[in-house]
Structure 1
Amino acid sequence: MNAEDLNRYSRQIKLPGFGISAQEKLQKARVLIIGCGGLGSPISLYLAAAGVGTLGLVEFDNIDLSNLQRQIIFTSNQTGESKLDATVIRLKELNPTITIEPHKAQISAKNALEIIDIYDVVVDGSDNFPTRYLINDACEILNKPLVYGAIFQYEGQAAVFNLNGSATYRDMFPTPPPPEMAPNCAESGVLGSLAGIVGSIQANETIKIITGLGKPLSNQLLLLDTLEMSFRKIKIKPDAERQKPTSLIDYDVFCGITSNSEIEISPEEFIEMKSQNDSFTLIDIREEYEHEAFNIGGINIPMEEVLEQIDTFSGKIVFYCGSGQRAKAIAKKLRKSHNEDRFYALKGNLNLF
């Protein structure tokens, strides 16, 4: 290390048991962070600041105003920009000595093994069950340690999987919950500071794995309740009889999620609908301030009010939001509750329309 490195990392080098040897391990490490959102923000900031030599980032989404409450790596004037591009810029500003490897893609069964294979540790910043099972299986196949985190409303979880033969995500959750029992942040809400707490824990566990310091959260699940400010641990045992994955599968099907092809409308399809004067009601399900800041037309009914008012509309209904996720969730829920296929969601970021 040079004089600048010694100065930059001096506060952690001085730690008992840390020293230059631990810092050099960090600088040689290659860590992959999947997701640059609520969890990915603190994970990437703290690992970059700590001096992890190479950080891989996987992200495909754009920044929405509703992200900023918890995705602290972004600023208001970056709304609509690529999360990946904005994260790369911020991390290089924070620590120009490290290497950033961006992967502008949605992690999938087609690319997961290829992307994950070149890293030492994988950190899961995703927010849905299909992706969690996908990442877990890929890490188990490639024998990579996985640092897990999840947040929901006021509660969070963290664990380390597949470390030297320790338990995996599938040992903890052998089967996924029904889709209707797995709401996301857009539907159920989340405390922004919770993402910071859990993401920081994940960054901390990653540093411990790389340096060999302390005892990682392997074979145990850390549970956090921010309202009670309580922490507790649950032991997880590896299932010796569980069949290990040898290949990746269709995780949407595994988690009981039906195809979105009939529900989602692409920008091209939407433009064609408008040009042909196809009869439909366009509803923006974002909050009023979001609609006023930028919209593509239609009426504004916030997500929590849609279910109460939907029966006042007849015919085809197209929902939209900032990224398409909330719109897709509402369209799916209404198709199921009304047993009708007249509900659709615009696919993609608003800037595409």
Structure 2
Amino acid sequence: MSAADNPGPLVEPTGSLSPRELERYARHLSLPGIGVEGQSRLRAASALVIGAGGLGAPVLHYLAAAGIGSITIIDDDMVEASNLQRQVLHRDADIGRAKVASARDALLRLDPELEVTTIGERLSPDNALELFDSHDVVLDGADNFATRYLSNDAAELTGTPLIWGTIFRFSGQVSTFVPEHGPMLRDLFPDIPEADSVPNCAEGGVLGVLCGTVGSAMATEAVKLICGIGTPLIGRLLRYDALEADYSTLRFSPDPDREPIIDLAEVAVACAAARPGPDGFGTRQDGAEGPGGENEVSVEEYRAESSPVLLIDVRAEWERQISSIPGSIHLPLSVLQVEGWSAVDTVAAHQPFEVVLHCKSGARSAQAVRLLKDGAPESVRLRSLVGGIDAWSASGSETV
């Protein structure tokens, strides 16, 4: 086995296992390659898990169950009802709580002796290098491109092994990146995609049980790296299609022409463009500070409008069944992508007016504004409602 196949155990084993640990991890102790020594390595290891959501939930659950000694969870999100279909760490009673707090409670219920550290913020260029440098392995369950590339670059700069996973609708991918022991994410996907080039889970949907499949594969990779067993997914991209029950593997190599990562400057720009607005809702697509940009309108500004405004809801029909803004007209983004401005023109009766588009948090409506600008008359002003219906509800405004 070459160094590229397995870089060897990540950590030295601790001392002897306690009687409690010998009983708890008995099924590991009889496994070739793990045994008492491998279990001691797991107890000595520290893991940083980025995200306590769809992928983070099974990753955290299985790392804790496997006997990882120290786990740090970083996530700035709150538990919502729509999370519970796939984020199995959280319960109905946790809705409204910080995900890191809910996840910590769940892990300590599983193993009261586990050392859990929580960070209720996003991974950023300001904290990434220190966090990566202080952990043996990092597992990235982030849901946006900027954070994924930040993780890759921080791993490359600190030499920290990184396990990466992604899910979309019915498919998922997993790979393992170990600096100096094989290719990295940028060898496979060199450039950071645009923030809205692929719909997120809220827009495109995701099969709940898929998270368990992909997250479990990520946790398996961590155990293999820590114990130095098996063949990790270094230089290989594992692809899973749940509908076809099909696994495939894509092999890839380091790009000899790729420039090495020397700092976080490039990814810092992507992270700034993808961060939430100051109201905590939505995603800034243009990197501007705060609402009020040329193509945006805040809830307060919208409510203060004196001239007639056509409010268009670009969400899916099932989302409107949960709640909608009074007076809004439904034109799903999928329709606008096919019909363009003509779909709006039909409901507008060819009159010049102001148009405000909204979705759940602002990302899809911002995309709709850019989509419609080419076909709209110059007399029409197109804007996206910052924060969408989430910001509308948070302001105390009525929904139906």
Shared fold per TM-score greater than 0.5: yes
Q: Distance in 2 between matches of 1:139 and 1:294?
A: 42
CA deviation map 1:150-200 (0-9, x unaligned): 111211111101254211000111123455532222222221111110110
Matches within 5 A, 1:1-353: 1-179=17-195, 181-251=197-267, 253=269, 258-261=285-288, 264=291, 272-273=300-301, 276=304, 299=328, 301=330, 307=336, 312=347, 314-315=353-354, 317=356, 319=358, 321=360, 324=361, 327-338=362-373, 341-346=382-387, 352-353=394-395
What is the Cα deviation at residue 334 of structure 1?
2.2
The letter of the residue matching 1:343 is S
CA contact (8 A) 1:121 1:144 kept: yes
Compared CA separation, residues 55 and 223, structure 1 to 2 (3 A):
same
Q: Which moved more, 1:2-11 or 1:89-98?
A: 2-11
Q: Which moved more, 1:91-100 or 1:242-251?
A: 242-251
Q: Distance in 2 between matches of 1:36 and 1:210?
A: 21
Q: Distance in 1 between matches of 2:126 and 2:305?
A: 38
Q: Which moved more, 1:253-262 or 1:1-10?
A: 253-262
Compared CA separation, residues 238 and 93, structure 1 to 2 (3 A):
same
The letter of the residue matching 1:317 is V
What is the Cα deviation at residue 52 of structure 1?
0.5
Q: Distance in 2 between matches of 1:300 and 1:122?
A: 45
Q: Distance in 2 between matches of 1:303 and 1:125?
A: 29
CA deviation map 1:247-266 (0-9, x unaligned): 10243755997425378579
CA deviation map 1:273-324 (0-9, x unaligned): 4785666666776677766767887758595578487554752526352xx2
Q: Distance in 1 between matches of 2:344 and 2:84?
A: 29
Q: Which moved more, 1:272-281 or 1:16-25?
A: 272-281
Q: Distance in 2 between matches of 1:80 and 1:232?
A: 39
Q: Which moved more, 1:217-226 or 1:156-165?
A: 156-165
Partner of 1:149, secondary structure, is strand
TM-score by length of 2: 0.76
The letter of the residue matching 2:358 is F
Q: Distance in 2 between matches of 1:14 and 1:302?
A: 59
CA contact (8 A) 2:292 2:298 kept: yes
Compared CA separation, residues 28 and 112, structure 1 to 2 (3 A):
same
Partner of 1:181, secondary structure, is coil
The letter of the residue matching 1:329 is R
Q: Look up the match of 2:398.
A: none
TM-score by length of 1: 0.85
**Tell me, which stretches of 5 or more residues in structure 2 are unaligned?**
1-16, 275-284, 375-380, 396-400
Compared CA separation, residues 346 and 152, structure 1 to 2 (3 A):
same
What is the Cα deviation at residue 95 of structure 1?
1.2
CA contact (8 A) 1:288 1:302 kept: no
Q: Look up the match of 2:3.
A: none
What is the Cα deviation at residue 78 of structure 1?
2.3
Q: Look up the match of 2:9.
A: none
Q: Which moved more, 1:342-351 or 1:183-192?
A: 342-351
CA contact (8 A) 1:109 1:250 kept: no
Compared CA separation, residues 297 and 125, structure 1 to 2 (3 A):
farther
What is the Cα deviation at residue 123 of structure 1?
0.4
Point out the structure with max Rg over C-alpha: 2
Structure 1's consecutive aligned runs of 4 or more residues displaced over 6 angstroms after TM superposition are 281-298
Compared CA separation, residues 306 and 349, structure 1 to 2 (3 A):
same
Partner of 1:63, secondary structure, is coil
What is the Cα deviation at residue 7 of structure 1?
1.6
Q: Which moved more, 1:339-348 or 1:140-149?
A: 339-348
Partner of 2:265, secondary structure, is coil
Compared CA separation, residues 28 and 335, structure 1 to 2 (3 A):
same
Partner of 2:40, secondary structure, is helix
